[in-house]
Structure 1
Amino acid sequence: MSQTEDVVVVNGVVRTVDERDTVAQAVLLSGGRIAAVGTEEAVRNAASGTSVVVDVGGRTVVPGFIDNHNHLSVAAFDPVGVDCSTPPRSTLGEVLESIESYCKDLPEGQWVMGSGFFHAHVREQRNPTRQELDEVAPMNPFFLRDISCHAGYANSRALDLAGINAHAPQPWGGEFEKDNKGQPTGTLLEAAINLLHEAAWGSYVERDWETAVELLSSKMREYLSLGITGVGDTLVTTKVAELYRRASAGGALPLTVQQYHGGDLFYSPPDLRRSDILDRVLAGGDDRLRGGAVKLFVDRFFPDGPTIDEVHDGCVTHVGTPFHSREEIVELAVGAADLGISTAIHAMGGCAVGACLDAYEEVRRRARSGSVLRMEHAFVAETRHAQRIADLDVDFVGNPGLAWLWGEVFTGVRHDGQDHLKVLPMRSMIDAGARVSLASDSPCGPVSPMVIMSAAVNRLTQHGTPIDPDEAITPAEALLGYTRNAAHAAGRASEEGSLEVGKRANLLVLERDPITCSATDIMDIQVDRTYVDGELVHHRSGR
């Protein structure tokens, strides 16, 4: 959509987030770009006589937020599945009742998916079994995605359709649990969810592509109300890419989507030797749909947690299971760099972080350039890696909202006496000179940038438990992490991320200033206005 009229935003605290951290009074939006920034007098003088003047009454104006690690194509379909969220559900019985109520009037054989469940948040402290899911969804194949996206739970009909039985071999990168008789329990870990997730999610898409596109667009409009003007979908499969292609062709992308491509299934790596995958990775897009990037996984979360090295009496013990060897990650990263393709590498534990950096060191050693090198997560990592991240010019994309939601889980992974490990050591990285940006990993965690910025600054879980408070960052650093740094990590540093002349007119009007308000109030800040390419796309009622 093209900006139809010039807009002058005046009487604001305009935090440009440029290199000098300039604070201005006004900004002019023209032709989808920032045309002037400065004093109110100077900006008014630069505007035409027909410009629309928006007086923001002293409120704060900032660049649009970029959520670089988001699973938009997954989250968009949660509203049409079974809401199994825990909380508010506090028992397994309540979860099963929700599934039964949803399925009772559906046509026989129609796939059903559920979301929002986490076993630690129910009284029974366990997952539903295949038999329990059979009872509440007897006529439909059913798949419940764990909130982490690293596990899932299925009934017998779903398992049968996926060919998962007592005789099935364990898949690459995952496993399905078996009982003492060798029969599948219905619990699937990591890459074992691939076929079930693709079948359940894919059935919702292929049932009606137009409805699927509208669900995608609706979720993006929700994001606009939170101030998100750009998203990185960090796992785009073949079918997801087709969904985005259709959405783009129909003008249904109200914000910028950077695709991070995987293989055909959720946890399958992108084989760039395949011409069809390479073609979709490199496929040209437009201002709203971007390609040229891939997602790689290093470590798993289940069954034994992220890959880390524990130290006991001077001896090192390795914990956790990787998806790939270090040699394989080097090969994948270098292969992508050879083709000018940017990479985002999922690395949760300290060993995975080291493997990611080994791969990127090889990319830099071979003088590969022109692509962005990103590392995601570092949930339980070693601060000694911080300087190396900075020296290799790697963009770190962290998810403090998950620490807010799951902090007790992460600290549980880091056993007593393992003081060399920190949960999301962002302070250490910034102090070492690394570029740090923030992102949600939604639907695994909260999507609101304000909740995530608050978590980065306050370092508290949702229960008020401190989580490595010495790794807290400042509000200004948190804002930088959602704007200019995030634009760099997205490969769009020259286009957006700061309010500077010539950049895209993606900006927000906030009800309060996140830099000067109380740190405890950051979480509750509302977005009054959102502009994308100069067009007003969200306006909070009464503001």
Structure 2
Amino acid sequence: MVSIVGLCADLVLVNGKVVTVDAEDSIVEAVAVNNGRILAIGSTSEVMELAGEGTEVLDLGGKTVLPGMIDTHTHPSGAAARFGAIDCRSPPINSIKEILDLVAEKVAEVEPGGWIRCVNYNDIKLVERRHITRWELDDVAPENPVFVSKETGHLYVANSEAFELAGVSKDTPDPPGGKIDRTEEGELTGLLYETAGRLVSNLIPPQSVSMLTEGLRQVWNQFAEWGITTTHDASGHKCAVKAYRRLLDEGHRKVRVLLMMRRRLEDGTDVLSSLESLGMESGFGDDWLKFMSLKIMGDGSGSGGSAAVYTQQHRGMKDLGLMVTSPEEMKELTARAHNAGIRVSIHSIGDRGIDAALDAIEEAQRQNPIPDMRHRIEHNSCCTPKQLKRIKELKVTPSSSIGYMYGIGDDYVENFGPERLRWLHPHKTMQDMGIVAGGNNDYAVTSYSPFVQIYEAVARKTRTGQLVSPNEAIGIMDAIRLYTWNGAYLGKEEDIKGSIETGKLADMIVIDRDILTIPPEEIKDVKVLTTIVDGMIVYNR
């Protein structure tokens, strides 16, 4: 038994199968916890020696224990802000008519001129397999501005009332990093790509801190049910930080958060300048809320066909895609952040977009070599051997959206085509090259537990059963590691979390079956029975 001498346990988990995810993938029977930390691991008899009169004993009855799940790229505050909007996610929504009916119902509930928001929309999952048009939205909401967001958050549809309020007409030029879709005659279709969406969305009244706090409470409850004990927020902003702080002050401590702060707020505030002036470096904060990096939007969306690629895409704009942030500006921002001791997390989905991000990181390191910065590529979707070699050389840490494979994998299959799919989320190759990658499903872009995502890393199947690059499949222990130790490494926290080892934070989950021995098709059905954060039980099924 490995233990801290002289301490008595607050909580012991006994008679189980504890998958520690340590360097040897050790499996033990029991764990002891004291003051939010792992006190000991070992056999049941050994651990029970640390139990005292006030120790809570959790008899696992042979159940499996894993380290708490670490999802390395989510949008909790964005998900919280979606509560109250019309949910268009498919399933259960199957058609444009159903969406229009929901908009019409909402029109009857709000005053004329009141905004109507629709979220989680995806054209490819509808029976019509096309986008809603502004004219269809006009028919059901002639006096209300309507703004529809695709589930990826990179593509939008607005109606005529919304365009009129925004001052957008057929003569409005495309903004940098965006595109306004038009008919052959130049009329607005309603469709907006990337930054063009801000022409309208900036007019929508923002959520208050109180509303975000209540929404986040629901998100944290969902995460606890899924076994997520740490998440990396990929869209950190001041109201979200206030809401996180408010929940912590209330004692609602279910999820630890690492922040990727947006580089610019809606009001134009340059966040990087503020961070520089404060002397803020990556790692500032505590074990519950910590600043990790500057978030830079690189290219567009693989689902929507706006990712930056070298050969034409088959969806959306059907071209080489968009750079939301120009390569020149990306280099300037990355160098500034790097020199200030701030890591960067660069959204990069297409191969051309990944190269642009790597160019920026490489230039920053050339000018000022700093070891172990662990700059990040977010999503890292279409990543060929050329990019993988550079990632390895630059010691970049990718947060791979392998979780996309289930929810929007069919979109990617259609958009990228078979040749590029060979290098979609290439986890086996990254593993063989010694690249440490984390995993995510970009919640709430897709909304599945980490076990669906782990299933994807093992099975490589979309929700309709399409097999995608099976030669990039990895084994179950390696897939678990994506969401535990590797996730901790991406946050520079592998010394305090990611495995069940003495002295580490007591973040663990109990699951309903032995994930190491069940058939691969069952992995996605794994349910969490108990979630423990900081040594406290925060969820019981």
TM > 0.5:
yes
Mean Cα deviation higher: 158-167 or 217-226: 158-167
Counterpart in 2 of 1:404? Answer: 406
* Structure 1 unaligned spans of 5+: 312-317
Partners of 1:225 and 1:270 in 2: how far apart? Answer: 36
Code of the residue aligned with 2:411 in structure 1: it is V
- Shift in alpha-carbon separation, 1:106–1:359, aligned structure 2, 3 A: same
- Shift in alpha-carbon separation, 1:381–1:283, aligned structure 2, 3 A: closer
Secondary structure of 1:20's counterpart equals: coil
Deviation at 1:218, TM superposition (A): 1.2
Secondary structure of 1:77's counterpart equals: helix
Code of the residue aligned with 2:260 in structure 1: it is Y
CA RMSD of aligned residues (A): 2.7
- Shift in alpha-carbon separation, 1:502–1:114, aligned structure 2, 3 A: same
Partners of 2:203 and 2:245 in 1: how far apart? Answer: 20
Partners of 2:472 and 2:531 in 1: how far apart? Answer: 31
Counterpart in 2 of 1:189? Answer: 193
Counterpart in 1 of 2:416? Answer: 414
1:375 to 361, 365, 377: 377
Counterpart in 1 of 2:301? Answer: 301
Partners of 2:200 and 2:448 in 1: how far apart? Answer: 25
Partners of 2:497 and 2:158 in 1: how far apart? Answer: 43
**Contact kept in structure 2, 1:379 and 1:423, CA below 8 Å:** yes
Partners of 2:222 and 2:296 in 1: how far apart? Answer: 28
Counterpart in 2 of 1:257? Answer: 257
- Shift in alpha-carbon separation, 1:180–1:308, aligned structure 2, 3 A: closer
Counterpart in 1 of 2:472? Answer: 471
**Contact kept in structure 1, 2:193 and 2:306, CA below 8 Å:** no
- Shift in alpha-carbon separation, 1:172–1:239, aligned structure 2, 3 A: farther
Code of the residue aligned with 1:408 in structure 2: it is D
Q: Does 1:232 align with 2:239?
A: no
Counterparts of residues 74-89 of structure 1 (less than 5 Å): 74-89=78-93
Partners of 1:237 and 1:148 in 2: how far apart? Answer: 19
Partners of 1:78 and 1:281 in 2: how far apart? Answer: 31
Counterpart in 1 of 2:5? Answer: none
Secondary structure of 2:391's counterpart equals: helix
Partners of 1:420 and 1:439 in 2: how far apart? Answer: 18
Deviation at 1:268, TM superposition (A): 8.2
Q: What is the TM-score normalised by the length of structure 2?
A: 0.90
Counterpart in 2 of 1:395? Answer: 397
Counterpart in 2 of 1:114? Answer: 118
Q: Deviations over 1:447-476 (max 9, x none)?
A: 310111001100111111110000101110
Partners of 2:334 and 2:535 in 1: how far apart? Answer: 37
Q: What is the TM-score normalised by the length of structure 1?
A: 0.90
Partners of 2:71 and 2:345 in 1: how far apart? Answer: 14
Deviation at 1:396, TM superposition (A): 1.5
Mean Cα deviation higher: 381-390 or 329-338: 381-390
Partners of 1:420 and 1:285 in 2: how far apart? Answer: 39
Counterpart in 1 of 2:222? Answer: 222
Q: Percent identity?
A: 31
**Contact kept in structure 2, 1:399 and 1:439, CA below 8 Å:** yes
Partners of 1:184 and 1:243 in 2: how far apart? Answer: 38
- Shift in alpha-carbon separation, 1:420–1:114, aligned structure 2, 3 A: closer
- Shift in alpha-carbon separation, 1:90–1:162, aligned structure 2, 3 A: same
Q: Deviations over 1:181-234 (max 9, x none)?
A: 54433211101122534443x44x13xx42331111111111100000111110
Q: Does 1:28 align with 2:29?
A: no
Deviation at 1:537, TM superposition (A): 0.4
Secondary structure of 1:435's counterpart equals: coil
Secondary structure of 2:94's counterpart equals: coil
Deviation at 1:247, TM superposition (A): 3.8
Counterpart in 1 of 2:148? Answer: 144
* Structure 2 unaligned spans of 5+: 1-7, 313-318
- Shift in alpha-carbon separation, 1:103–1:135, aligned structure 2, 3 A: same
Deviation at 1:180, TM superposition (A): 5.0
Counterpart in 2 of 1:491? Answer: 492
Counterpart in 2 of 1:315? Answer: none
Partners of 1:387 and 1:23 in 2: how far apart? Answer: 34
Partners of 1:370 and 1:438 in 2: how far apart? Answer: 20
Code of the residue aligned with 2:19 in structure 1: it is R
Q: Deviations over 1:362-383 (max 9, x none)?
A: 3444222464311122222213
Partners of 1:263 and 1:106 in 2: how far apart? Answer: 34
